[in-house]
Structure 1
Amino acid sequence: MPVEIERKFLLSAFEPPPTAVRQHIEQGYIAIKEDGTEVRLRRIGGSFVLGVKRGTSGPEPSPVRIEVERELDEGEFADLWPATEGARLAKDRYTFDASGVTVYVDVYQGELAGLRTAEVEFDSEPEAAAFPAPDWFGPEITGVKAYKNQTLARQGLPKS
């Protein structure tokens, strides 16, 4: 089963480095369960993806989630996209290497404008735990429900 191990941080500011690759992402949620399981659609440039994410069980927020994605054709995406009404977001994702890891910075748009986050994915939980966040990263928000994309898409920016 494909597993995603990532840590997520807030950013107060972001200036893309010259090496960053930018992708525009439109993302919508078809289903979100109470346990955090989500079924989402993504349009990334000319690609269309159906994804399912499910967290691992435990009392503490975990950087580990099961993630399965499948490519869709444009017609399939168009048929499913209306089901995401009321649970959508748009962002620009910048991907680049920094401090020996690949960093994904999301700069949100629309009602979420002003929000910027950085994510780093890892091959193992010990590697994730040992990662020294760079000084330009802000507070860690890994597992914080208010900053999960599914919550942002439905409820907007956190109040605090």
Structure 2
Amino acid sequence: MPLEIERKFRPASFEPPGTAVREHIEQGYIAIKDDGTEVRLRRIGGSRVLGVKRATGGEASVRVEVERELGEQEFTELWPATAGARLVKDRYTFASAGVTIHVDVYQGELTGLLTAEVEFGSVAEAEAFTPPDWFGVEITGVRGYKNQTLATRGLPES
């Protein structure tokens, strides 16, 4: 069972380092349950992916995540089911201080929002991580900053 263990932050600003790899992501949700389970579609560059995430019932930062590659026709047939639950962002991925950092720069109605995520191999690694100052406030587990909420409700009023 593949687990996603991550911590998420809200930087005030971001300047991509020269080593960062940029990916354009279009993301839409087919289903979102009250317990946080989600079924989503993603177009990342030339890839099309169907993903399912669900909470494990433990730590807020730990979820089961399963993804499957889709063909163009499958993706195109499913994409209309995401109407009203979509977002667009550019993701910058780079290594720093021994971890891989993903910074999402949101577009459209979410323009101005930045998030930084780090995924870990264990809960102990996640708990031991000391974020750099530029990461800003931690938003791990904050419902208003989950992508599914951003896609359906927009920016939190914070």
The aligned residue for residue 2 of structure 2 is 2
Q: Matches of 2:55 and 2:8 in 1, distance apart? A: 15
2:38 pairs with 1:25: no
Give the match for residue 68 of structure 2: 70
Structure 1 spans left out of the alignment, 5+ residues: none
Q: What SS does the aligned partner of 1:136 have?
A: helix
| Superposition pairs of residues 1-160 of structure 1, within 5 angstroms | 1-58=1-58, 62-160=60-158
TM-score normalized with structure 1 length: 0.97
Moved over 2 A (4+): none
TM-score (norm 2): 0.99
| Whole-angstrom distance in 1 between the partners of 2:114 and 2:93 | 13
Instruction: Output the CA distance in 2 between the equivalents of 1:79 and 1:66.
Output: 26
- CA displacement, residues 63-108 of structure 1 (integer Å, 9 cap, x when unaligned): 1000000000000000000000000000000000011100000000
- Unpaired runs of 5+ in structure 2? none
Task: For residue 62 of structure 1, report the CA deviation from its aligned partner.
Answer: 1.5
Alpha-carbon distance between aligned partners in 1 of 2:45 and 2:38, rounded to the nearest angstrom:
22
Offset, 1:135: 1.1
Query: Residue type of the partner of 2:149?
Result: T
Q: Deviations over 1:27-84 (max 9, x none)?
A: 00000000000000000011000000001214xx511000000000000000000000
Question: 1-side partners of 2:35 and 2:92: how far apart?
Answer: 29
